[in-house]
Amino acid sequence: MAAPAKKNPEHDAFSRPGNRIVTLDEFIIRAEKDFEFATGELTGLLRDIGVAAKIINREVNKAGLVNITGVADSGENTSGDQQQKLDVYANEKLIECLQNSGECCAIASEENDSIIQVPAVGSKQSHYVVMFDPLDGSSNIDVNVSVGTIFAIYRRQSDPSGPATTEDFLQAGNRQVAAGYVLYGTSTILVYTTGRGVNGFTLDPSIGEFCLSHRNLRIPENGKFYSVNQGYYSKFDLEMRRYIDNCSDQNYGLRYIGSMVSDIHRILIQGGIFLYPSTRKYPKGKLRLLYECNPLSLIVEQAGGKSINTQLKRILDIEPKELHQRNTIAIGSPAMVDELKAFIERYSALPL
């Protein structure tokens, strides 16, 4: 986690938004001043990701007009998911933007089996590694449903004079220096945290800038929506079925988009809980710990929410063993996660 920040009076400039446009670049640069040991690298990384997001957004927004939707010739990715053409495009653009600036020493992506070394630019020795899901929910692309990019940034642990190692990526989520997502939806919004709260920036296409639109996002304590693939209900463990029955008994609405970034963003704004428990096809859960669960969990916790796995372990405290390992997850409003926890403690047949 980044060094504790000192209060920067200038930062208050954003607390009186008025009509003043605050771009992502300006916000990041001002925020950097709050970190005593800031070297500008993290600032550069966040700006690189912002640039890649604009490029990806351009293609996502016209996906139906060019021959870029549909299944890529490349087949399946490392997780066995069918690669969509926009997946491949988004992956390439993120790698390109991060490689150009040399602000990170290595990259890990859902679309690549192993880590990607980033050659140093000049004499710069980078201290960061970046991992991402370039286009989460991509199976929705052809049907015009929102998709998203998810990213996580860590400080490297290996000797900076040598190449990065896989161990640089196998760090618990509580060591993330920054995390965020881009949601390509009715509008395109970039939401990120560096461990000091959560802020959202909506892309203004007329000026090509991400502009501060959601200052200091806080998740509602409770909610009236639950988000789970109800189609798997009969395969869920007893404790999950009992909790889902409870949601129905309380007349909670079911909202499930099948695009995690979209579901989590709705929950961040409106409150609610997102569940991906163990299923027959995914006994350890479907969602990847390193570049889906961890970054989204840091965002939700920084906004006041909670995120656990179905064995009640805090997601951010899980020590990863493999780059693409999967995890069960229950994430959202703290009161709803606590309520689920009570059901798991009461009905779980397995020792917790």
- Catalytic site positions: 81, 87, 110-111, 133, 135-136, 292
Distance, CA of 78 to CA of 95 (rounded, Å): 17
Of 188, 14, 45, 247, whose CA–CA distance to 126 is shortest?
45
Which is closer to ligand P6P, CB of 14 or CB of 282? 282
Which is closer to ligand P6P, CB of 287 or CB of 308? 287
Q: Which residues bind ligand P6P (CB under 6 A)?
A: 136-137, 139, 229, 258-260, 286-287
Distance, CA of 280 to CA of 237 (rounded, Å): 10
Residue 65 CB, nearest approach to ligand P6P (Å): 24
Which is closer to ligand P6P, CB of 53 or CB of 105? 53
Distance, CA of 53 to CA of 49 (rounded, Å): 6
Q: Are 49 and 96 in contact (CB under 8 A)?
A: no
Residue 263 CB, nearest approach to ligand P6P (Å): 6
Helix (H) or strand (E) holding 54: helix 41-60
Residue 71 CB, nearest approach to ligand P6P (Å): 14
Residue 290 CB, nearest approach to ligand P6P (Å): 13
| Greatest alpha-carbon span in the chain | 62
Which is closer to ligand P6P, CB of 43 or CB of 259? 259
Spatial strand order of the sheet with 306-308 comes to 253-254, 225-227, 273-276, 329-332, 306-308
CA distances 195 to 53, 176, 291, Å, are 21, 8, 17
Query: Strand 253-254 to strand 225-227: parallel, antiparallel, or no bridges (unpaired)?
Result: parallel
Other C-beta atoms closer than 10 Å to the C-beta of 151 total 27
Residue 227 CB, nearest approach to ligand P6P (Å): 8
Of 341, 342, 339, 332, whose CA–CA distance to 220 is shortest?
332
Which is closer to ligand P6P, CB of 16 or CB of 280? 280
